[in-house]
Amino acid sequence: MKHLHGRAMPFFQIDVFGNAPFKGNPVAVVLHADELTDAQMQEIANWTNLSETTFVCDPTTSDADYRLRIFTTHSELPFAGHPTIGSAAAVLKHGLQPKTPGRLVQECARGLVPLRLDRDRIFFELPEPEFTLPSERELADALGALGVSREAVRNLSIVDVGAVWLTLQLGSAQDVIDLVPDMNRLARATERCTGLTVFGLYAPGGPTSVEVRSFAPGDGVPEDPVCGSGNGCVAAVIRRNGVLPASRYIAAQGRVLGRAGRIEVEFDPAGAIWLGGTAAVLVEGSIALGR
C-alpha cells in the first residue's frame, strides 16, 4: 500500500450527543485528507476501531464548505449522523470560516447536507428518507434475533437516509431497554441494511419522549452508542405515522452501554427533519502516516 511517508494530518476525536464528558458517541476526524487513497482511509478507520471515522476533503462544488467521506471499520457509508455533527465541530475548531454565518453545507456521497450552528448545538437536515418494507423472511429473522413477537411491533419500515435502517417501534421505552439481541442472527437478518433501529415511547413525564437503540453487527458495530442516522429514521417514521403530535422532541440513546446520549429532533413547517446535539472536542492533535 502506498504511504505518505513523514506526513501528519490534523486529527480530532469528537464526542457527539453526550450530556456529559464521555457519555456520547465518539467519531474520529482526519482533516486535509484529499491525498489519502480509499484503502488508506479504510485502514485508518479499522485502526481507530470506532463506529465511524471521517475524512475531510476539499469540496467539488462551490455550494459546499467541505466534502466528507465516512468509513466504518468495514466499509464506506454515503451518510451518517453523528459523524456529520462531529466533523462539523472539528472543521470549526480547526478554523474553518463558514461561507454563510451560522450555516455549513457538507458534501458527501448522499449529496449536500445543510447544517445549522445553534449556540452550543449543531443540527443537520436529514436527507430525504425513502421507505420500503422488509420481506417476510427478513422480518421474521429480525424479530427472532430480538426475541419479540410480530404482535409486539408497530410502525415498521426500512428507511433509507444514506444509511439504511430497518426501523420498528415496540410498546414502550422499557421494552427497548430490555432487549438482548442475538447479534449473529441479527447480522444475517439485516444483510441489505446498515442495521436495525428500535424505538419506544416514554410515558408523559419521562426522562425524554423516546428511547432508541441501533444495532449494526453486520457492519462491525454490534450496538451504536448514539446513532444520528438511526434517530433520523426513527424521526421519519414518527412524522410519517403521526406517532408524536409535537413539532419537536428529545430522544435518549446509549443507556444500556453506559452512555447518556440526547438527540434533539425538529420537524419544520416546510417538511424537513432536523437532528442535533452537542459536539465536544476531547482529542486534538495529528495522525502520522508512515514511519
pLDDT in tens, 231-282: 999 999 999 999 999 999 999 999 999 999 999 999 999 999 999 999 999 9
- pLDDT at residue 171 greater than cutoff 80: yes
pLDDT, residue 6, reads: 55
Average model confidence (pLDDT) across the chain: 95
| Residues known to be catalytic | 52
pLDDT in tens, 135-158: 999 999 999 999 999 999 999 999
- pLDDT at residue 76 greater than cutoff 80: yes
> Which three cell numbers mark 170?
415496540
pLDDT, residue 4, reads: 45
Is 77 part of a structural domain of the chain?
yes
> Which three cell numbers mark 167?
426501523
**Residue 7 pLDDT class (50, 70, 90 cuts):** confident
Tell whether 190 and 69 lie within a shared domain: no
Is 102 part of a structural domain of the chain?
yes
- Cβ distance 227 to 253 under 8 Å? yes
pLDDT, residue 3, reads: 40
Is 197 part of a structural domain of the chain?
yes
Residues 6 or more apart whose CB falls under 8 angstroms from that of 101 comprise: none
Structural domains counted in the chain: 2
Measured torsion, CA atoms of residues 87, 91, 92, 94, in degrees rounded to the nearest 10? 140
**Residue 5 pLDDT class (50, 70, 90 cuts):** very low
Is 216 part of a structural domain of the chain?
yes
Tell whether 36 and 159 lie within a shared domain: no
Residues 6 or more apart whose CB falls under 8 angstroms from that of 137 comprise: none
Is 2 part of a structural domain of the chain?
no
Q: How far apart are CA 226 and CA 257, in angstroms?
A: 10
> Which three cell numbers mark 239?
412524522
pLDDT, residue 78, reads: 96
Tell whether 38 and 111 lie within a shared domain: yes
- pLDDT at residue 289 greater than cutoff 90: no
pLDDT, residue 244, reads: 95
| Domain extent for 263 | 130-271
Rounded to two decimals, what is the model's pTM? 0.93
